[in-house]
Chains A and B, each alone.
Chain A
């Protein structure tokens, strides 16, 4: 069984075959035999050739979570979509700087369409959980479109505004 997991933009591939409580793993060119017991659903005790680790795996519709060594890692299993992932997936797309970092309410819009801004200028202020988040211009340019007005609800990842292409 071949599996791929995406975590923080990296793809991890692993092959696993099960034989009772033995699991044969191929990972990064090396092979491992581990013995795993499930204490209760998702609570795993894994013997890595004498070293025993405890982890908890939990899943939602689109993510898997693993708790190991005091830390929670969130991964997305990659479905068989025909898309090819190799190593790093894309660098941040060019307009990600204008995406709202949080779901909240737009409290202030500092720019209008056609305004020229310089790097660092505050363009929009979004409030969530009683804190304000500033959308700042990452570079100089002209504001082409403002997608929200004060008082609007905004969801995480929504484009706050459109800026002219870099010259």
Chain B
């Protein structure tokens, strides 16, 4: 039986995405929101919305008790966790289960197993997948980690055992940076995931980050929806994702897809998930981690396969058997996604806060906007600075890049700085167009990137002047005077103040 009512335990664009899927399926939706999000789209869009109060994540979107209380009082039969927050928290999944509320995702046991990056790697290694060499032990004292780090050699990666999304992840290029990096990673991990433990891994040179989307039902059927290439990363945060990857041959795609399905089967995975791989310069692939949730970048797969992953999540959770067969999955064309962040590229990509004064997004064939904001929404420092995602699809990669360029140039957010100028240049970069890029791409070509021109274009000055002449404000006008007797405008007659 399909659910009648679902609670969405998230905010922003992903809450909006899930609400839309529910509404299309005739499911009543319950949104939860913190005080900081009172006026955001997901709250307005849901059929019911319940306040969680205090915007601090631990008091709102991370507060299991509060969210479950809302689920019970509103009579929600299932909870969709989105991504981030409680999406990969096994205690939350277990607590839902205990209350007879269906958690839309895999079982608490699978989340716990895959959430522990070390255990996940060991499990996958036992099932025959290759993993990256490193220290995956339990010892967390700084002296032991320093010792292990030195024996792995540099460069190496420090990663949070419970990590994801680039948080608690540091690259260490030389021994002198090791101590600081470990301690910083431990603190970030503690604050982001409530678990400070980290592991160390050899740093692969020139790797590609390629992941496979999985759908698995509760009757033992597992399929994959091909890959997403997420090699464009800044500080280990994905920025641009695409499918298909220019790096994969038909054979490699097939063997990686099979490995991904095998990984899911090995742990009895259910619902939508993603198996992430690192692909090295010799095209060897290593299991990196499995994300037991909906991915931020799921729209690229939806664009190329035509499959609605969120609807399948809801169907699978309600017990429906997968009607899709592997051989029926036939992606076509090329899809690209850009993540729009409230970050100021001219100030070292610092997250920005402020009020969205005006917002206009590109519309057109094969252009999709996933947005968590609208005009007059205030961007606060409490949550992730991602404002939304822009996904486009083209007949081929070049066509897709041209469409993305056009779409980005018409994406207008006024009031909060965004990374759009940066995205435009990345998309248009010769090396990106060539394809086959690695996770070092941004570092190599955009290390100290700032906007090419720091100047205000002449057209912008004109438009400002025209606007100010239309709506003059006394205190902004530097000087009022009769036109200069030698001014060529003398003949234009006396100008007026006020319209």
Residue contact B384 to A58, C-beta cutoff 8 Å: no
Q: Does A5 contact B (CB under 8 A)?
A: yes
By a CB distance below 8 angstroms, the chain A residues around B454 are 8, 10
Residue contact B477 to A48, C-beta cutoff 8 Å: no
Say which residue of A56, A75, A102 sits within 8 Å of B350 (CB atoms): A102
Residue contact B358 to A42, C-beta cutoff 8 Å: yes
- CB closest chain-A residue, reference B479: A2
**Min distance, Cβ A102 to any Cβ of chain B, angstroms:** 5
By a CB distance below 8 angstroms, the chain A residues around B408 are 70
Q: Does B364 contact A (CB under 8 A)?
A: no
Q: Does A19 contact B (CB under 8 A)?
A: yes
By a CB distance below 8 angstroms, the chain A residues around B462 are 14, 23, 25, 27, 32, 34, 46, 48
By a CB distance below 8 angstroms, the chain B residues around A38 are 470
With A16-B468, A67-B412, A70-B408 in contact, is A129–B351 under 8 Å at CB? yes
Within B126-181, the residues touching A (CB, 8 Å) are 167, 180
With A107-B191, A132-B187 in contact, is A68–B457 under 8 Å at CB? yes
**Min distance, Cβ B342 to any Cβ of chain A, angstroms:** 9
Q: How far is the CA of A130 from the CA of B114 in the complex (A)?
A: 22
Residue contact A18 to B495, C-beta cutoff 8 Å: yes
Residue contact B417 to A74, C-beta cutoff 8 Å: yes
With A79-B476, A122-B180, A131-B188 in contact, is A46–B167 under 8 Å at CB? no
Q: Does B415 contact A (CB under 8 A)?
A: yes
**Total residue contacts A-B, CB cutoff 8 A:** 195
With A1-B495, A130-B188 in contact, is A17–B467 under 8 Å at CB? no
Q: How far is the CA of A84 from the CA of B434 in the complex (A)?
A: 50
Residue contact B456 to A5, C-beta cutoff 8 Å: yes
Residue contact B384 to A24, C-beta cutoff 8 Å: no
Residue contact B184 to A60, C-beta cutoff 8 Å: no
- CB closest chain-A residue, reference B481: A2
By a CB distance below 8 angstroms, the chain A residues around B480 are 1
Q: Does B355 contact A (CB under 8 A)?
A: yes
**Min distance, Cβ B263 to any Cβ of chain A, angstroms:** 28
Say which residue of B357, B461, B483 sits within 8 Å of A5 (CB atoms): B461
Within A31-64, the residues touching B (CB, 8 Å) are 31-32, 34, 36, 38, 42, 44, 46, 48, 53, 55-58, 60, 64
Q: Which of the 9-residue segments B32-40, B243-251, B485-493 touches chain A?
A: B485-493
Q: Does A103 contact B (CB under 8 A)?
A: yes
Say which residue of A8, A14, A79, A125 sits within 8 Å of B187 (CB atoms): A125
Residue contact B412 to A7, C-beta cutoff 8 Å: no
Residue contact A58 to B184, C-beta cutoff 8 Å: no
Within B447-499, the residues touching A (CB, 8 Å) are 454-470, 472-473, 475-480, 483, 487-489, 492-493, 495-497
Kindly state the interface size class of chain A when it binds its partner: 35 or more
By a CB distance below 8 angstroms, the chain B residues around A48 are 459, 462
By a CB distance below 8 angstroms, the chain B residues around A36 are 466, 470
- CB closest chain-A residue, reference B410: A70
- Most A C-beta atoms less than 10 A away, residue of B235, B418, B469: B469
By a CB distance below 8 angstroms, the chain B residues around A12 are 456, 461
Residue contact B167 to A68, C-beta cutoff 8 Å: no
By a CB distance below 8 angstroms, the chain B residues around A44 are 463, 466-467
Q: Does A127 contact B (CB under 8 A)?
A: yes
- Most B C-beta atoms less than 10 A away, residue of A16, A26, A57: A16
Q: How far is the CA of A3 from the CA of B463 in the complex (A)?
A: 12
With A23-B466, A31-B488 in contact, is A102–B351 under 8 Å at CB? yes
By a CB distance below 8 angstroms, the chain A residues around B445 are none
Q: How far is the CA of A60 from the CA of B351 in the complex (A)?
A: 20
With A70-B424, A71-B421, A128-B351 in contact, is A58–B468 under 8 Å at CB? no
By a CB distance below 8 angstroms, the chain A residues around B421 are 70-71
Binary contact readout A111-144 vs B (1 if CB under 8 angstroms, 0 otherwise): 0000000000010010111111110000000000
By a CB distance below 8 angstroms, the chain B residues around A75 are 456, 464
Residue contact A24 to B489, C-beta cutoff 8 Å: yes
Q: Does B383 contact A (CB under 8 A)?
A: yes
Q: Which 8 A-B pairs have the closest CB atoms?
A: A70-B409, A55-B463, A16-B465, A17-B495, A57-B467, A77-B476, A7-B456, A18-B469
26 contacts across the A-B interface (CB closer than 8 A): A2-B477, A5-B456, A7-B456, A8-B455, A10-B456, A18-B469, A23-B466, A27-B461, A31-B489, A34-B462, A42-B467, A46-B466, A58-B358, A58-B415, A64-B467, A68-B457, A69-B409, A69-B459, A70-B420, A73-B460, A77-B468, A80-B477, A101-B348, A102-B351, A104-B381, A130-B188
Inter-chain pairs besides A70-B411, A129-B381, A134-B184, 6 sampled, C-beta below 8 Å: A46-B459, A48-B459, A48-B462, A68-B457, A69-B459, A131-B235
Binding site for B on A (CB under 8 A): 1-5, 7-8, 10, 12, 14-19, 23-27, 31-32, 34, 36, 38, 42, 44, 46, 48, 53, 55-58, 60, 64-75, 77-80, 101-104, 107-108, 122, 125, 127-134
Binding site for A on B (CB under 8 A): 167, 180, 184, 187-188, 191-192, 235, 346-348, 350-351, 353, 355, 357-358, 360, 381-385, 408-415, 417-418, 420-421, 424, 454-470, 472-473, 475-480, 483, 487-489, 492-493, 495-497
